[in-house]
Chain A
Amino acid sequence: KQEVTQIPAALSVPEGENLVLNCSFTDSAIYNLQWFRQDPGKGLTSLLLIQSSQREQTSGRLNASLDKSSGRSTLYIAASQPGDSATYLCAVSPAGGATNKLIFGTGTLLAVQP
């Protein structure tokens, strides 16, 4: 059974710092991995999607890496801003089968202090 773990559960950093969020998964048979952002009372916004054959994806100040064999992904946020404060969720899509369901971690609550 696929399980997704995110460390740390919460993180507080001063504005301008670079930071790394960690995600690990127990089964390397995945289709893809996604990082989402969730603001309070809002739905999920997809930040980056990494296919199983890829090693990393970049979007602006965000860079996500994927090491499928070790079951790990990291989300790197450069020069953090108060507007980055949110919960960050990673999710994997298991390979095989007819579904494209996502299995989520419990998230990392990020607070960027001005």
Chain B
Amino acid sequence: EAGVAQSPRYKIIEKRQSVAFWCNPISGHATLYWYQQILGQGPKLLIQFQNNGVVDDSQLPKDRFSAERLKGVDSTLKIQPAKLEDSAVYLCASSLWTGIYGYTFGSGTRLTVV
């Protein structure tokens, strides 16, 4: 089966600019996650979708970050305006359902804010 697709692979922007990341999960996976991984740290959950509804966005900086999952398939994560501390790898993952099943991660988007 095809994996989780993410684009772009790399992005460099100036602070205060906006940026968007795209994710296409594995076909049939109802649950989609966005994680932020800062250099030297483990990934941290930003938002979790179940189909097109938000299950958990408690750690999403809502003043600058937004995410949507239209039609319960693809998802977009946006940052506006970006700050230097947003420099990180943004990982998308999907799972068949919320529960005992394991995750499949995409390769991530590496964002550098200068």
Query: What residues of chain A have their CB less than 8 Å away from a CB belonging to chain B?
Result: 4, 31-32, 34, 36, 41-46, 49, 51, 89, 91, 98-107
Contact = CB atoms under 8 A, between A and B. Distances in A.
A35 B45 CA distance: 17
A96 B40 CA distance: 29
Given A31-B100, A42-B107, A51-B100, A104 B43 contact: yes
A49 B91 contact: no
Contacts of B50: 98
Nearest to A9: B40
Contacts of B100: 31-32, 51
B14 interface: no
A103 B48 CA distance: 13
Nearest to A36: B105
A44 B43 contact: yes
A41 B41 CA distance: 14
Contact of B106 (A4, A43, A51): A43
B57 to A, nearest CB: 10
Contacts of B42: 4, 89, 91, 104-107
B56 A99 contact: yes
Nearest to B92: A43
Contacts of A102: 35, 43, 45, 103
Interface in B72-114: 91, 93, 95, 98-108, 110
